[in-house]
Structure 1
Amino acid sequence: MPLKPSYDDKLHLSGLSNTEILILALEAAQKLEWKIEKIAPEGILFQVPFNMYSHGEEITFTIEQGSDGEVSVRSQSSSIQFVDYGKNRKNIQKLQKAMEEARNSLFPEELTQKANELEEDFNRPLTEEEKAYIEEEMKKNSILSFFIPRKGFIATPILIDINILVFILMVASGVGILNPDTLPLLKWGADFGPLTLTGDWWRTVTCNFIHIGGFHLAMNIYAFMFVALFLEQLIGSRRMFASYFLTGLCSAAFSLYMHGETISAGASGAIFGLYGIFLAFLLFHGIAKEERKALLTSILIFVGYNLIYGLKEGIDNAAHIGGLLSGFLLGIVYVFSNKFKNPDAQRTVSIIGELGIFCIFLFCFIMLCKNVPPLYQEIRQEWESGIVEAYLNGELEEENENHPVISPPGNSSDRQFPSYVPIGNNDTWLSYYDAETNFSCQYPTNWRKITGAKGLTPSAPPPLLKLVNGANQLTVVSIAYDTQKEFEHTKKLSLIVPRNEKGQPSEDYKQNDININGLPMTKTTNPLHIGAPDEPGKDIQQISFKYFQEKNKRIYSIVMLLYDEEAAADLDAIVSSIQITK
């Protein structure tokens, strides 16, 4: 988030009238080569020019009425930066020193004469041109100016208004204002690989106008305002519109390539694209030399901070990177086009470059569509049939919980566990995906997914997935280790099987290597007694699969408890659908 550091101080100039103090400030500004933005009886607004000693700070010089020459001075950074390296404090020190030098260099009569002339200028009526200028400046400096299009500043207000309007419509339709649910985000057009790459191409556009809560919207608008202040007057409104849409498309495509199963929404990818364009102008001398260094430092700090912050879980940094890179490339095109003096030539080069960026996006998007995993098509079918909506609404889980428990024939005391419920005509298959571990599989709706399941021990992580049907269970656990040594040690322990009295592996434990969808796993099968050792209880079969992801130092454990032989086919089908994206 960009910051505007500032420094406040007070100057004491007793024995002088307010107008004489203003004269000294004006003389000092002239010596320091500061630009006078606004002058009034109560004070002056200065703009420090960009140079190696300044980032273009604003100096607010305010005279305290009735305070016998006490002046409040504030120096505030106007560019995007985290620290000012003491520049604001030095500005005030320079101003104070220059005012003292001006006071010593002016004779009292000369100072009085200049003050009288300034007083007369304050009291004269404003011309029509001055009134129009002041009115226009007030509009520009008003917060409302960011939302109302005007000549030379059309694209930014319209794009901001569209984002706000879409959010208002979403909230009006029942979407959560702070933490919207997944389903309404998908319905409104969030980017999601299984849908975007199987027909909903338009999501690459709509995702750039949808936000995941009011705070998300506010932060993006804030960042957008900062870059738009500089950029639209630099490239023009037409190119501003084109830049937002093109870099937004590229950010969506890169997000789909990196993690297509993640639901992505927000204008930040397109906004990073605008920062990429501005960065290209700074690096390739598209901006005046005296301003370039200060702005470049600020932009690099902003981009670097947000990319590092984007490493946090839940932030789509891939979209940020895709937008930034495409924006930088588009910025190079715009810098090159500006080298032509003829406006028609500039427009032609810009449009050719924009078409080139769009072709790059189109090629990448088509390739992604051609290489979609089979799971995406299955999720698409579930989405179109309404199964995904029912699942996200909790309707299918409620239905599963109402499956009847079939009592076994004979004495009920002979069996203490609920019976397996076979797949019925109304059952279908659901897809499960965990974005953090890239684990996915499918399971039938006659199996109930247990939510909120806890680990085996208080310190153990909860399972990714736990399915139950009667006494039959399937549990998936994934653990990542911090060091390679810890990973290797745990891997070695997990492959150890009990040994008999002769020190040989127990005959009850069968272990072999298998391959599931290209994933090398170790399968271990062994009997498991349910109940106390001195009671009849029940002997069931335990089947576990271990997958060791060396690159990420992560171990996946899939454990099945098979109580009913009829459930074996279901469990085998679930396991055979397992995929883990590397």
Structure 2
Amino acid sequence: MRTVCSECRTPAAVGVICPECMAEQRAAQTPAQKKAERRWASRPMAIVSSDRPRMTLGIIAVTGLVYIIGLIPGLGPVLTSLFAFNSLFLLPQAGVIQPWRLVTVALVHDGFFHVGLNMLALWFIGRSLEPLLGRWRFLALYVIGAIGGSVAVALLAPGVWTVGASGAIFALFGALLVIGRHIGADIRVIGILIGINFAWPFVLAGFNAIGSGDFAASLAAVGISWQAHLGGLLTGAVIGLIYSRTRAASQRGLQTGLMIAFTVVLLALLAVPAIAYF
């Protein structure tokens, strides 16, 4: 094993690659992959960072700090009651409007393994994706992904309490899948990981339903919000497409406008539960 300096590393959708490995990969590329890479390189991102994934580390630090504060006797339930998501807090009919829960849900978790697995996934994806996108694009993806996960919960599981950063994590998965496909990378491993993670609660519910015979009840008892996973995944895929199609510096305004418009559409979808369920 040899080391490579930070100046020689090449950020890629699956990590950083040394010059020799990059040359070997290019030699083995199919014509379709070479064409996709040329399209991506012809209009590069306006700002691409090759530094350490500081935004990823920052998100992990803040989330970890909130978890540690929650371990103080009496503070855990308070943080959960303030930050957890429930669509009832977005309905005028309920009398209390607390929109911050769309995002703060990503800060509170149900136990050590919950926060640990989410932050581990964030680190593995973020250290590859953040250098490719840049810090602020990565943060926007994470935050809007959390919103997308919450919106899906509001649409598909109204009135259900949820906690955790799963929506934001799946948004990173979705964006990485789309961007990797656009640059001609091998996305089969990413697709398999997404499939396993998304199918896991349904597999558990299936095993539990063998004895009870009630799959819906078993799925609810698993305690994993597949709705947030689905919402985050779709949100990340859309944002990944926006990033892929507006890479040039001259398209920075268009990219910002599309991101704002997409966020507005997500928030507008919250009107559906208000009309349909009340």
Q: Which is strand-richer, 1 or 2? A: 1
**Match 1:305 to one of 196, 215, 233:** 196
Q: Contact (CA 8 Å) 1:333, 1:349: kept in 2 or not?
A: no
Give 2:138's aligned residue.
240
Q: How many positions carry a matched residue from both structures?
A: 221
Per the alignment, residue 35 of structure 2 pairs with none
Pick one of 204, 217, 222 that aligns with 2:102. Answer: 204
| Structure 1 residue 354 displacement after superposition | 1.1
The correspondence of residues 88-487 of structure 1 with structure 2, limited to 5 A, is 151=51, 153-174=53-74, 184=78, 186-197=80-91, 198=94, 199-285=97-183, 289=184, 292-293=185-186, 296-311=187-202, 312=204, 313-338=222-247, 340=248, 343=249, 345-373=250-278
Task: Supply the RMSD in Å over aligned alpha carbons.
Answer: 2.7
TM normalised by structure 1 equals 0.36
Partners of 1:162 and 1:169 lie apart in 2 by 11
C-alpha displacement of 1:363: 0.7
Mapped to 2, the partners of 1:275 and 1:231 lie a distance apart of: 10
Change (3 A) 1:52 1:255: farther
Q: Is the 8 A contact 2:151 2:267 kept in 1?
A: no
2:155–2:272: 8 Å Cα contact kept in structure 1? Answer: no
Unaligned 5+ runs, structure 2: 6-17, 29-49, 205-221
Runs of 4+ in 1 over 4 A off after TM superposition: 46-54, 183-186
Q: 1:350 deviation in Å? A: 2.0
Distance 1:279 1:372 in 2: 34
Report which of the two has the higher share of helix.
2
For 1:550-565, what aligned pairs fall within 5 Å after superposition?
none
Contact 1:188 1:210 in 2 (8 A): no
Task: Give secondary structure in 1 for the equivalent of 2:230.
Answer: helix
Give the 3 Å change call, closer, same or farther, for CA 371–218 of structure 1 in structure 2.
same
Counterpart residue number, 1:77:
none
Q: Specify the code of the residue in structure 2 equivalent to 1:333.
A: I
In structure 1, how many angstroms separate the alpha carbons of the residues matched to 2:68 and 2:254?
38
Q: Given that residues 179 and 244 in structure 2 are in contact (C-alpha distance below 8 angstroms), is that contact kept between their aligned partners in structure 1? A: yes
Paired residues of 1:196 and 1:204 also in contact (CA < 8 A): no
The higher relative CO (CA closer than 8 Å, separation ≥ 6) is in 2
**Which AA in structure 2 matches 1:192?**
N
The share of aligned pairs that are identical, in percent, is: 25
CA shift, 1:156, in A, is: 0.8
- Distance (Å, rounded) in 2 between the aligned partners of 1:261 and 1:366: 14
Deviations 1:501-553 (A, max 9, x none): xxxxxxxxxxxxxxxxxxxxxxxxxxxxxxxxxxxxxxxxxxxxxxxxxxxxx
CA distance in structure 2 between the aligned counterparts of 1:251 and 1:337, rounded to whole angstroms? 24
Query: CA separation of 1:38/1:360 partners in 2, compared to 1, >3 Å: closer, same or farther?
Result: closer
- Look up the SS of the partner of 1:315 in the other structure: coil
